[in-house]
Chains A and B, each alone.
Chain A
Amino acid sequence: MNKITNNTVLRFMTCGSVDDGKSTVIGRLLFDTKTILTDTLSQIEKTSKKKGMAEVDLSLITDGLQAEREQGITIDVAYRYFSTGNRKYIIADAPGHEQYTRNMVTAASTAQLAIILIDARKGILTQTKRHTYLAKLLGIKHVIVAVNKMDLIQYDEAQYKSICEDYKKFEKNISPSNAPININFLPISALKGDMIVDRGNSMAWYKGATLLQFLEDLDTSEDIKESSLRFPVQYVCRPRESANKELHDFRAFMGRIESGLLKVNDKVKVLPSGHVSSIREIRIGEQLIEEAIPEQSIAVSLADEIDISRGDMLVHYNDSVGTIKNFTGMVCWFAEAPLSSNRTYLIMHTTQTSKAKITSINYKVNIQTLNSENVNELKTNDIANISFKLAQPLIVDSYNENRGTGAFIIVDESTFHTVGAGMIQLLD
């Protein structure tokens, strides 16, 4: 039964193109975990028949917008859900077309794990390298390499093993290599349902876990370093007009803990002002709690009256982190209009927004070869190393140290569109 209230959340993404059977893998996961309900299934059966197919085409489960059906492609990230009683899963389903690098980057930004699909007949392709590079760039720590379509190579163990060896060899050379990742391999046939949820009868030689078992068993918990508190203030609550007189002087600073631990009586420092105080109370709504952990949305009150507003950050009082006005980062450019060094952009980072200028485009990564190239401008889906100069100081960490305080988006000042996203690299 699904009625477990104490399970955790795992967010993952799938990388691959239509030809790798990505949609079929997702369809199979949803179908075999009984997430697909009768009415959806009968819709899919109808469509499969209309297309003249003998079997039900599970890839149709992830079929999305009218515009996509018309063109036979997926144009945007879709989010899908299933639950096993042990975990709630959120799948970011990103289209595999190479012109949609931005979708893959978007999907990867919230994923803890990436499933990289390889067609068993084709082995490692350029796109496999691209997917691996982007997963690493976005700081995904867990990768499952699923060699699909095993049924089309007669479930050949030797061929599967050689693909795994090839993968291990090239993966080592893909930067950023400083962040170690946990890689697992498995052979599957999404079409036949082998090793997705059920083991099937065709690969007795494979003794490892099925895809679902890998997902169920994955340990995503990380050591919480108490001292690395990052608490960006989102909103300040001052219920002065409240009828309750006791609340007249009440002030709470609201936000979500990006990292570290926060306990009542902890001494904290407010950045950028540098004022020090201690935590008087931590609450979620009307409920008082003693300590808060990463990803928890809370409100805190301090022992002293200090002027704090949205965009400020609480850290532990002896943390040496400071503010910066220049930084370098890897940027993925989304907009049709090229990035221009002559323009001013807005950078949104934690709860802070600052105007920014580009001081230099250091190099671009050729997404096919993964080599660095010199360029003067950035076009849609380009990935590049860029240096910025900021109007407001920001409190940042390196992205590979802290996703929450190392990530930023770039917004066009006049259209307000999100035109790029980036990951900060600080030099030690």
Chain B
Amino acid sequence: MKKLLSHLDWLESEAIHIMREVAGQCSNPVLLFSGGKDSLCLLRVAEKAFRPGRFPFPMMHIDTGHNYPEVINFRDKKINDLGERLIVASLEDSMKKGSIVLKSNDEPRNKYQSITLLEAIEEHGFDCCIGGARRDEEKARAKERIMSFRDEFGQWDPKNQRPELWDLYNAKVHKGENIRAFPISNWTEMDVWQYIEREKLELPNIYFAHQRKIVRRDNSIVPVTNVTPVRENELVEKIMVRFRTVGDITCTAPVESDADTVEKIILETATTSISERGATRLDDQVSEASMEQRKKEGYF
């Protein structure tokens, strides 16, 4: 008898296996959940891994305070529907405490997420954070392990990673150290959308084409919001856009699109000429190595 799993079944099975290794090896893991499409795939994988039981970990959102309200509402509803537990770690709390000091009020907050994340890890004593990062997103990610070791300061050392062979994952850490586990490492943006379609996953509505006020700034489309106001001499347009990633408002740009269903988005993803981060992450365009740098500092 000969049988092979389809690529989505294979990817799902691998992700389930990784999550169960976290549950089996780590004593206090947490799943990082933002309400975005990748972390929604993680939640579906967790259901397939652990139902009819409860998830053996809580969810945690690192909230920059600059989120689209649709996404936050969606996040809360999703966790409620699942009957699981959500921890919200807020950048604004870190700012009140003084551990985050912004250079200016309108500075993008994305890179400061690392500080709040590390504080939350310490406060709750987490020994592993499960995240939805994918290796196809960025070249520093392409080299990251599925179970990636971080030292006491949350630092990633790309030159000294633990070799990772077969499906034998070494998640052993000492107190204070940490593992970042990435169950969907081997998924591409296309795989994610195909999985969303197959599993009929609900998503925050800003992933689908909608009318939005925007300005065009340095080759990017910048949504007009209270934290990203119109600058002098800029022309406000109202056009059809969708978000390919959702995150902090100040660093996530939408793309022009009229794809208003998952099917249309899959078609668009298959024919697009711009990569996910290239199109939508204002923070990665700063320098070729900015993701690598952030990861060395504790970013997930």
Contacts and interface: CB of A to CB of B under 8 A. Distances in A.
A418 B171 CA distance: 10
Interface string B56-100: 100000000000000000000000000000000000000000000
Given A256-B13, A285-B49, A234 B24 contact: yes
A181 interface: no
A15 B284 CA distance: 31
A421 B164 CA distance: 9
Contacts of A80: 135-136, 142
A79 interface: yes
B40 to A, nearest CB: 15
A66 B288 CA distance: 8
Interface stretch (A147-155, A317-325, A371-379, A407-415): A407-415
B235 to A, nearest CB: 24
Nearest to A102: B163
Contacts of A334: 163
Interface residues of B, number: 71
A183 interface: no
Interface in A182-224: 220-224
Contacts of B279: 39
B273 interface: yes
B297 interface: no
B13 A293 contact: no
B52 A244 contact: yes
A261 B85 CA distance: 36
B139 A64 contact: yes
Considering residues A67, A237, A238, A244, which has the most beta carbons from chain B within 10 angstroms of its beta carbon? A237
Interface string B104-120: 00000000000000000
B48 to A, nearest CB: 4
A248 to B, nearest CB: 11
B5 interface: yes
A170 interface: no
Nearest to B165: A109
Nearest to A43: B288
B6 A242 contact: no
Given A78-B143, A238-B53, A261 B1 contact: yes
B54 interface: yes
20 contacts: A3-B270, A8-B5, A37-B272, A37-B278, A79-B142, A79-B143, A79-B186, A81-B186, A83-B190, A110-B167, A224-B1, A235-B24, A252-B52, A254-B49, A293-B3, A297-B14, A407-B168, A411-B170, A411-B172, A418-B170
